[in-house]
Amino acid sequence: MKTIHVSVVTPDGPVYESDVEMVSTKAQSGELGVLPGHIPMVAPLQIGAVRLKKGSSTELVAVSGGFLEVRPDKVTILAQTAEKAEDIDFVRAEEAKNRAESRLNSKQDDVDFKRAELALKRAINRIEVTQRKM
């Protein structure tokens, strides 16, 4: 089976590095699947899970946006933040979700709703990634 090398990198350093058979993720334009030999491209990513297929197993990495760069033999994901499913603190993600929801529900004038909405999306993504892994 052909493979493609994948690197997931954040400003804090590398999060994931391996050879996989397929990468799938959510780009701004929709769901993207990348196989070895894919044409070169760059795409902005949404908050979501990156699915990395190796044999019969699939690994998940939660990313909070960023960019996907594809070359025929290599995929690089540059993300603001990224966490492998097994590294996510589920309790912390739940607490972040609850904080964001209460900010959104508070109806206070000083609440930055866009920021609270993004925080909620990031927390829900992290929770979903851990639950799919369990």
Q: Give me 39's structure tokens.
A: 């044409």
Least confident segment among 2-11, 43-52, 116-125: 116-125
The angle that helices 113-133 and 90-105 make with each other, rounded to 10 degrees, is 150
Q: 48 and 18 share a domain?
A: yes
Q: 48 and 16 share a domain?
A: yes
Domain that holds residue 69: 4-85
133 — pLDDT class (breaks 50, 70, 90): low
SS3 36: coil
Cα torsion through 119, 50, 133, 125, rounded to 10: 10
Amino acid code (one letter) for 76? T
Q: How many domains does the chain have?
A: 2
Q: Sort strands 4-10 and 74-78 into parallel, antiparallel or unpaired.
A: parallel
SS3 134: coil
Q: 106 and 45 share a domain?
A: no
Span 104-108, mean pLDDT?
80
Q: Give me 120's structure tokens.
A: 């909620």
| pLDDT tens per residue, range 27-61 | 999 999 999 999 999 999 999 999 999 999 999 99
What CATH number does the domain containing 129 carry? 1.20.5.440
Q: 25 and 46 share a domain?
A: yes
